[in-house]
Amino acid sequence: MAAVVMDGKALAAKIKGDVRLQVEGMERRPGLAVVLVGEDPAALSYEAGKQRDCRQCGIYYDTFRLPGEVSQEELAEVIQSLNDREDIDGILLLLPLPRHLDQRRAVLAIRADKDVDCVHPANMGDLVLGMDSLRPCTPAGVMRLLEEYQIDPGGRRCVVVGRSNIVGKPQAMLLLQKHGTVTVCHTRTSDLAAECRQADILVAAAGRPGLITGDMVKEGAAVIDVSINPDGQGGLCGDVDFAAAAEHAAFITPVPGGVGPVTRAMLMENTLRAALRHGKR
Ligand code: NAP
């Protein structure tokens, strides 16, 4: 079977185009602030990407680069100042923070209605309760990809490999809300291959290159590879052996060019949603 390769770049362009159209019609534009602690090159490049996305969508952008040795109190003051600013609808605190900082305290300092990355427990709680709230960008992006390719989780077996707070757990919740029968796998799962072979929808988010081999993919499955790993040759790869899995799957995402760009677009959509909730029109 030749799998359909799910085009995350095209979907991201569509989502960002829709955001831009809506923003152009608004009197007060949405605003996003990114808070970055330290000089990690990967984080700096990630931050530059957000700036580019905001420019493309017409969203106001502000960035706060704090020194790696910033104190908890100084960080809290910056977050509080952003909580109070009317021009800022979304606050993205780049994680992880340096070790001397208490990440949970920092996250709790963000106003939940500005938590466009959905890391605040209030938003995670709403997600579990099925309330309409800001959605974590990566799992929400996966759901958008499924929707785009008319893959309905309803009544299907969905297997999520990974149980992190930012991907695996919220992903399982979103699939469950769409009436999937969901299994979550992790390092203590006794027979990962057997679990994966059951999956009509397989979401890989372990961060382990080559973990999902072709024989672990059910005929006709949708395989969504969330992971972004260095491939050892200067490029990137996911968890799935793409070529082998594509022989069995009906749909598959590439890495790069699959979930990644859609995740970025979802941050723009979340910022717009937050602005609308703040009464910006
Ligand atoms: P994480 O916090 O390291 O969590 C990885 C999860 O995978 C853990 O729950 C772990 O199980 C499980 N796992 C690891 N090895 C496994 C194995 N051999 N068998 C079964 N389960 C295994 O990672 P994360 O933050 O969720 O990110 C996962 C991947 O997604 C990374 O590659 C990351 O770069 C990527 N990512 C991509 C995007 C995007 O936009 N596309 C966004 C976020 C993250 P235990 O809990 O038992 O340790």
- What would the pLDDT profile of 28-87 be if each residue is shown by its tens digit? 999 999 999 999 888 888 899 999 999 999 999 999 999 999 999 999 999 999 999 999
Domain 136-260 has CATH 3.30.540.10: no
Question: Using a 6 Å cutoff on CB, does residue 166 contact ligand 1?
Answer: yes
Question: Using a 6 Å cutoff on CB, does residue 167 contact ligand 1?
Answer: yes
Residue written as token pair 């988010």: 205
C-alpha 120/C-alpha 224 separation (Å) is 26
Q: Measuring from atom 16 of ligand 1, which residue has the nearest CA? A: 187
C-alpha 204/C-alpha 27 separation (Å) is 41
C-alpha 275/C-alpha 281 separation (Å) is 8
Mean pLDDT, range 152-177, rounded to an integer: 98
H runs (alpha helix) in 85-210: 103-109, 121-129, 137-148, 168-177, 192-197
* Distance between Cα 162 and ligand 1 center (Å): 5
Put simply, whether the predicted model's pTM sits higher than 0.85 gets the answer yes
CATH 3.40.50.720 residue ranges for the chain: 136-260
* Distance between Cα 184 and ligand 1 center (Å): 12
Q: Is the dihedral of CA 49, 118, 14, 203 positive or negative?
A: positive
Question: Using a 6 Å cutoff on CB, does residue 252 contact ligand 1?
Answer: no
Which CATH superfamily hosts domain 28-114? Answer: Leucine Dehydrogenase, chain A, domain 1 (3.40.50.10860)
C-alpha 242/C-alpha 252 separation (Å) is 8
pLDDT band at 195 (very low <50, low <70, confident <90, very high): very high
Paired tokens of 134: 């800001």
DSSP 115: -
Looking from the CA of residue 262, the nearest atom of ligand 1 is 40
The pLDDT score that the predictor gives to residue 42 is: 86
C-alpha 125/C-alpha 129 separation (Å) is 6
Question: Using a 6 Å cutoff on CB, does residue 119 contact ligand 1?
Answer: no
CATH 3.40.50.10860 residue ranges for the chain: 28-114
Residue 149 φ/ψ, nearest 5 degrees: -100, 15
Q: Which helix (H) or strand (E) holds 93?
A: strand 90-93
Residues 6+ apart with CB under 8 A from 243: 214
Question: Using a 6 Å cutoff on CB, does residue 196 contact ligand 1?
Answer: no
* Distance between Cα 226 and ligand 1 center (Å): 9
The pLDDT score that the predictor gives to residue 2 is: 85
Q: 90-93 and 181-185: which strand pairing?
A: unpaired
Question: Using a 6 Å cutoff on CB, does residue 262 contact ligand 1?
Answer: no
C-alpha 279/C-alpha 2 separation (Å) is 47
Mean pLDDT, range 259-276, rounded to an integer: 98
The residue count of the chain comes to 281
Mutational pocket test of ligand 1: of 169, 203, 226, 259, the residue with most ligand atoms within 8 Å of the beta carbon:
226
What pairs with residue 27 in β-bridges? none
Question: Using a 6 Å cutoff on CB, does residue 257 contact ligand 1?
Answer: no
* Distance between Cα 178 and ligand 1 center (Å): 22
Question: Using a 6 Å cutoff on CB, does residue 137 contact ligand 1?
Answer: no
